[in-house]
Every structure is written in C-alpha cells, then in structure tokens.
C-alpha cells in the first residue's frame, strides 16, 4: 500500500487522479489532499476517501462553510504543507495545483527526496534550474503526468540512454484556433478560447492551449525533464490527440505512445511506477482512425522562439516567461485584454529583462514577483 498526497485534489487533474486511485484502492491510500477554495468538492472527496490530512491554502476565507465543522484540524500554513509532504509515511506526492502556486509543493516534495508525479509544469518551467539538480542530489524521482511527457517517459529506453535519441516529437492538438490565422483572433471571446476540441481541463491550461503557450511550456518542461537540447525537440500539430508524443531514435525507429485522450492513462502509468495498473478506458478503434499531422502555424512562431530562448539561456527567463503568461491569462479571463494581447504582454515583459543565473529557490520567487509587476505595467500600457 502506497501513501499518496494529492495536491490540487479539487481540480481537473485531481479528479482524474482520484478516478485512478478509486479503481486501484488495494494499492493506494490517500494520506493527504490539498486544494485552494472549492470546499464543496473537498467535502465530497473527504467523505469518500477519508484522507488523514487536509491542506487548504491560506487564501480561503469562507469560514461559515459546513466543511469546517467536519474538518476543524485542516492544515493551512506553509510549514504545515511542508510537514505534510515531507512526512516519513508519504510515498508519492502528486503536484497538481495549477500555475506558479504549485511550485512550493513541488519544491518540498523534491527537497524530501519523494517520488513526485508532476502535472504542475509551471514548477519545472519557472524553477527547472533549481528543481532538477535538487532532485538528483536528493534522489527524488520525478515522473511526468502531462500526457506528452508521460508519453515520452513511456517511449524512453529503460536504460535512458539519451545518446540513442535523435529527436523528441511533442504533439499538439492545435487548440480551438488551429485553423485561424493570428490576424483573425483579435475578437475571439473567452468562450471561444475555452472550447478545447479534445481535452477538458482547468481554465488556465485551457487558455494556454488556445494560445499554444501550453506547448511552449511543454517544450521547456521536456527540455528540463529529459535533459535534451531544444534543438532535438520538435512540435507537431496532431489534431486528433491520439498520439501523445514520440521519440525518433538514431537508428531511424520512431516509437509513439497512443490512447484516446484521457488523463487517466498517463496518471495510471505514473502511479504504477513501472507496473501497469488496470483502469477503465475506451479502446482505440484503429479501423476508424484517421490521423493527421501538420507543422505549427508560422504566425505563432514568435512564442516558440521565446520558449527556445528560455531553454538555451535558462536562469531567470523561465520564471519571467511563466509569470508574464499567468498575468496575461488572468487579464484575458477577467476581460481586461483581448486574446492576442496575451502574446504582446508576454513578449514585452520578456524583453524588459536580461538573462541572469539563478542560485536559490528564493530568487525564483523574487523574479516571479518582479515579472508580475512588470507584466501588469505592460498590460496597463496596452490600452
Ligand atoms: P484546475 O484549475 O482544474 O485545478 C487546480 C487545482 O489547484 C485545484 O484543486 C485548486 O483548488 C488548486 N489550487 C489553485 N491554487 C491553489 C493554491 N494557491 N493552493 C492550493 N491549491 C490551489 O487545474 P488543472 O487540474 O487543469 O491543472 C493542474 C495542473 O496540471 C496545471 O499545472 C496544469 O498545467 C497541469 N496539467 C493539467 C492537465 C489537464 O488535463 N487538466 C493536463 C496536463 C497538465 P480549488 O479549485 O479548490 O481552488
Ligand atoms: Mg500536455
């Protein structure tokens, strides 16, 4: 029996994790959950799974909710979060909080040498320079949940001989605006952007998928997780989301991982840690498949150029890229800026900083703060 701490339990990934755990109760015990504000959902999860510990972030204020009657000993400080994650009984930490807010949990898990299943790609993008060496030092195993990275993880040879890899191909659905040129996107609404063709996900990552910034974050994530130069990572648009990523080896073989789009597939692979766990899934009907591939539209190239620069120069650039995107996405969700302004806000904020080396996790938090202030100023100047 493995003790699992699931952070981001009330979210979309959280739900898929719970579905996998529910189907494999004899292997996993929910030792702890963490969430932000959805007390109704947390109440339901607590009732069904009876976790030993519950963490809720301090920003939660609705103290009159019935949740508090049943869970008065809920954890909420940063020290308590660290204590929960680093408890010696914990075997697996799932980092599935959305955005930069998930970094602390990822950091605490890696610091304690835990097995960490990482959905929170923003942690790796913002703090890859700190987290990857720390994981090595602390012997913390990082297993990706993001479907593309889990696909790559499944395709890698067991001995992980990176010299045998010619190229990693990350697939992209292309999002809801795949067939629209950038110049036609000025007037798209929040609803249009939230209407993802193949995946149902949380709000932030759904907007990231519409802008393709999600693929930029994934490019940087892959670069750090697999220690592969960006020049060996190609993005391929594959609208059906059946092939989740591929590796071409130096002998000309390409290995792909396939499934119908469901996050339960990569999650069960990650939770299985080398063993295949049984889950309910919809089989691919190969006789009905019609797979297609195309390059990323040329008019979105500028954001991939930024992401590739992050991979090549590293340091503070990842945290700046990530923070400016988070501020811009928030502004778009709150209807303060147009869809295409997201690109403008990221590019202008990014251009305000020069690359500097990062030595500590605290510096990441400082750059994040600075980049957010800068992005807010840029956004004000846009209108
Ligand atoms: P959701 O918005 O659906 O869920 C986010 C979760 O994080 C919720 O449980 C939320 O709690 C919690 N949360 C937010 N802020 C805080 C905070 N400050 N402290 C504690 N908990 C917090 O997001 P997703 O599940 O879609 O995404 C989660 C992560 O997984 C992201 O990094 C995303 O990029 C990544 N990912 C998601 C995929 C997907 O299919 N959804 C696919 C691949 C990666 P509450 O709702 O209670 O406030
Ligand atoms: Mg993905």
Q: What is the pLDDT of residue 157?
A: 72
Give me the residues near ligand 2 (ion), CB cutoff below 5 Å. 146-148
C-alpha to C-alpha distance for 329 and 310, rounded to whole angstroms: 19
Q: What is the pLDDT of residue 161?
A: 77
Q: Look at ligand 1, atom 28, and give the residue with the nearest C-alpha.
A: 98
Q: What is the 147 CA–ligand 2 centroid distance (Å)?
A: 5
C-alpha to C-alpha distance for 150 and 141, rounded to whole angstroms: 14
Q: What is the pLDDT of residue 61?
A: 62
Q: Look at ligand 1, atom 22, and give the residue with the nearest C-alpha.
A: 36
Q: What is the 97 CA–ligand 1 centroid distance (Å)?
A: 4
Q: What is the pLDDT of residue 383?
A: 77
Domains of the chain: 2-144 (3.40.50.720), 150-260+289-382 (1.10.1740.10)
Q: What is the 31 CA–ligand 1 centroid distance (Å)?
A: 19
Ligand nearest to the CA of 264: 1
Q: Using the Cα atoms of residue 256, residue 257, residue 259 and residue 262 in order, give the sign of their dihedral.
A: negative
Q: How far is CA 156 from the centre of its chain?
A: 20
Q: What is the pLDDT of residue 83?
A: 98
Cβ atoms within 10 Å, residue 82: 18
Closest ligand 1 atom, CA of 10? 9
Query: For residue 348, what are the contacts with CB-CB under 8 A and spacing of at least 6?
Result: 378
Mutate to test the pocket of ligand 1, among 8, 46, 259, 264 (most ligand atoms within 8 A of CB): 8
Q: What is the 219 CA–ligand 2 centroid distance (Å)?
A: 10
C-alpha to C-alpha distance for 109 and 113, rounded to whole angstroms: 6
C-alpha to C-alpha distance for 107 and 112, rounded to whole angstroms: 9
Q: Is the pTM of this model over 0.85?
A: yes
Q: What is the pLDDT of residue 60?
A: 60
Q: What is the 106 CA–ligand 1 centroid distance (Å)?
A: 13
pLDDT-flagged residues of the chain (< 70): 58-61, 158-159
Task: Determine the angle formed by the axes of helices 361-382 and 121-138, rounding to 10 degrees.
Answer: 170
Q: Look at ligand 1, atom 4, and give the residue with the nearest C-alpha.
A: 11
Closest ligand 1 atom, CA of 201? 41
Q: Decide if 236 contacts 222 (C-beta within 8 A).
A: no
Exposure string over 218-246, b if 16+ CB within 10 A, otherwise e = bbbbbbbbbebebebbbbebbbbbbbbbb
Q: What is the 131 CA–ligand 2 centroid distance (Å)?
A: 20
Q: Decide if 334 contacts 141 (C-beta within 8 A).
A: no
Q: Decide if 173 contacts 238 (C-beta within 8 A).
A: yes
Q: What is the pLDDT of residue 197?
A: 85
- Cβ < 6 A, ligand 1 pocket: 8-14, 34-38, 57, 96-98, 101-102, 119-122, 146, 199, 201-203, 205, 263
Task: Determine the angle formed by the axes of helices 213-226 and 301-313, rounding to 10 degrees.
Answer: 20
Q: Decide if 179 contacts 292 (C-beta within 8 A).
A: no
Helix then strand then coil, % of the chain, to nearest 5: 50, 15, 35
- The whole-chain average pLDDT of the chain stands at 95
Cα–Cα distances in angstroms (integers) from residue 349 to residues 42, 301, 364, in the given order? 36, 18, 16
Mutate to test the pocket of ligand 1, among 33, 35, 116, 325 (most ligand atoms within 8 A of CB): 35
Q: Decide if 264 contacts 20 (C-beta within 8 A).
A: yes
List the structure tokens of 204.
């932030």
Q: What is the pLDDT of residue 65?
A: 87
Closest ligand 1 atom, CA of 199? 40
C-alpha to C-alpha distance for 204 and 217, rounded to whole angstroms: 13
Strands (E), 204-337: 233-237, 243-249, 254-258
């Amino acid at each position: 029996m493995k003790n699992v701490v699931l952070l981001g339990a009330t979210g979309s990934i959280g739900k898929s994790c719970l579905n996998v755990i529910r189907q494999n109760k004899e292997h996993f015990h929910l030792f702890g959950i963490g969430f932000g504000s959805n007390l109704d959902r947390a109440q339901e999860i607590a009732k069904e799974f009876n976790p030993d510990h519950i963490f809720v972030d301090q920003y939660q204020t609705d103290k009159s909710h019935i949740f508090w009657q049943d869970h008065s000993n809920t954890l909420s400080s940063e020290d308590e979060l660290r204590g929960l994650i680093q408890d010696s009984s914990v075997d697996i930490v799932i980092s599935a909080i959305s955005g930069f807010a998930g970094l602390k949990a990822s950091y605490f898990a890696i610091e304690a040498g835990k097995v960490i299943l990482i959905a929170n790609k923003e942690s790796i993008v913002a703090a890859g320079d700190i987290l990857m060496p720390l994981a090595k030092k602390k012997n913390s195993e990082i297993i990706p949940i993001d479907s593309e990275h889990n696909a790559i993880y499944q395709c890698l040879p067991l001995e992980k001989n990176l010299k045998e890899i010619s190229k990693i191909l990350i697939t992209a659905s292309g999002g809801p605006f795949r067939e629209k040129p950038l110049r036609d996107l000025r007037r798209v609404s929040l609803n249009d952007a939230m209407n993802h063709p193949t995946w149902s996900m949380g709000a932030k990552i759904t907007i990231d998928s519409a802008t393709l910034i999600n693929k930029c974050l994934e490019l940087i994530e892959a670069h750090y997780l697999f220690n592969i130069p960006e020049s060996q990572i190609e993005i391929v648009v594959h609208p059906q989301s059946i092939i989740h990523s591929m590796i071409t080896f130096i002998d000309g073989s390409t290995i792909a991982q396939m499934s119908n789009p469901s996050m339960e597939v990569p999650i069960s692979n990650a939770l299985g840690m080398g063993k295949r766990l049984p889950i309910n899934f919809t089989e691919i009907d190969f006789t009905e498949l019609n797979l297609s591939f195309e390059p990323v539209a040329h008019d979105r190239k500028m954001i991939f150029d930024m992401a590739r620069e992050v991979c090549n120069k590293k340091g503070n650039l990842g945290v700046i890229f990530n923070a400016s995107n988070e501020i811009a996405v928030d502004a778009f969700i709150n209807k303060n800026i147009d869809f295409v302004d997201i690109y403008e806000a990221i590019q202008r904020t990014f251009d305000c900083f020069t690359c500097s080396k990062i030595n500590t996790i605290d510096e990441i938090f400082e750059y994040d703060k600075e980049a957010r202030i800068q992005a807010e100023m840029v956004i004000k100047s846009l209108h």
